Each structure stands twice: as C-alpha cells, then as structure tokens.
Amino acid sequence: MKTLWAPWRYTWIKASKDGVDDCFICDAIKDDPSKDKENLLLHRGGKVIIIMNRYPYTNGHVMVAPINHVSDPRGLIQEEMFEIGDLTQVMLQALTNAMGPHGFNIGYNIGRVAGAGLEPHLHEHIVPRWNGDNNFMPVLGENRVISQDLFESYDQLKEELRKLIIP
C-alpha cells in the first residue's frame, strides 16, 4: 500500500469546529432565490438541493443535500433518498455534458473523523475527475489548481441543468 501525503489538510483537521452552529447549506436554502448564484446554489428541488462546493477539489465539485437539516442518511425519509438519487443522476449527466470528466468520486463524509467539514447537514459530494488531474502542486507547492472560475462553472452547470430539469 502506498501512502498519499496531504499536508494541506492538516490545517483543517486541527481547526476546532466544536460549538459552531453555522450551516452554509441551510443559509443558502433560507436566502432569497435571487441570491442562488452568490450562494452557488444550482438547483432547488422539492426536498433536495444541488450546491457547488466553495472550496472544491476539482472544478465542478458539487454537493447534493436534503433541505431537511439531518446529519446521517438514516435520518432521511424515502422521498429525500429518491430525490438525492435522481438529482445525482441528473448532475452526473450535467457535469458530463458541460465538462467531459473521465470519471467521478461520489460519497458522503459522515462525522468529523470521516472528513465532514459540515457535520450537522448531510451532503453527498460529486467530484468530477480527469486523467492526470492529480499532480505535484498540492504536495510540493501546497496549492491546488482549479482550472475554472467558480462562477463560470456555476453558469455552465446551471445551463446544463436547465436542459435536463424542467424548471
């Protein structure tokens, strides 16, 4: 087994987030829909939203989250689970159409030790991946290269979602 060193993550790991009640997902949901772009909120569904990650691993990194403030998938109702599944499929197609990734990482980080940056609000990550997208920059240069502006990505993905979802 090889070890992948990720020293840039240590700052996040050691930062104390105990007692923090802020939830950027709930804040974006509660905010006026006219601010969806500012909040990077791509889609408001019946029980689920799609929101872009403000600190992405790659361009196009999005999250599918229930509107309901739950921290664990066992707290979801059936309609939320189905809508998360449906919107995940739609988002995969939108990302494929817009950005042409070679693959995806999809998953949940449940609990702080699992890497959850926002523990109290469950969210599924969809991370587009390209051949050769991991290079020396994060390890040697302590920098991650994101090749597209967040709001440019937002506009591109929003347009693809308009084509795939009836507004």
Per residue in 36-51, pLDDT (tens digit) is: 999 999 999 999 999 9
Q: Identify residue 19 by its one-letter amino acid code.
A: G
For residue 18, being part of any structural domain is answered with no
Residue 33: strand, helix, or coil: helix
Domain that holds residue 117: 24-164
Any domain includes 17: no
Q: What is the pLDDT of residue 136?
A: 42
Question: Which residues have a catalytic role annotated?
Answer: 123
Is residue 149 pLDDT above 90, yes or no?
no
Position 16 in a domain: no
Question: Do the Cβ atoms of 31 and 13 come closer than 8 Å?
Answer: no
Whether residue 19 is contained in a domain is answered as no
Average pLDDT, the chain: 84
Please check whether residue 149 is in contact with residue 51, taking contact to mean a CB–CB distance below 8 angstroms: no
Does some domain include residue 68?
A: yes
Whether 5 is covered by a domain: the verdict is no
| Residue 3 belongs to a domain | no
- Give me the number of domains the chain comprises: 1
Q: Please report whether residue 87 resides in a domain.
A: yes
pTM score of the predicted model: 0.80
Work out the average pLDDT over 121-150: 71
C-alpha distances (whole Å) from 107 to each of 1, 41, 124, 149 are 22, 19, 5, 24
Structure confidence at residue 110 as a pLDDT band (50, 70, 90): confident
**% of the chain exceeding 90 in pLDDT:** 60
Q: Can you give the CATH number for the domain in which 40 is found? A: 3.30.428.10
Residue 100 class from Cβ within 10 Å (0-12 exposed, 13-18 middle, 19+ buried)? Answer: exposed
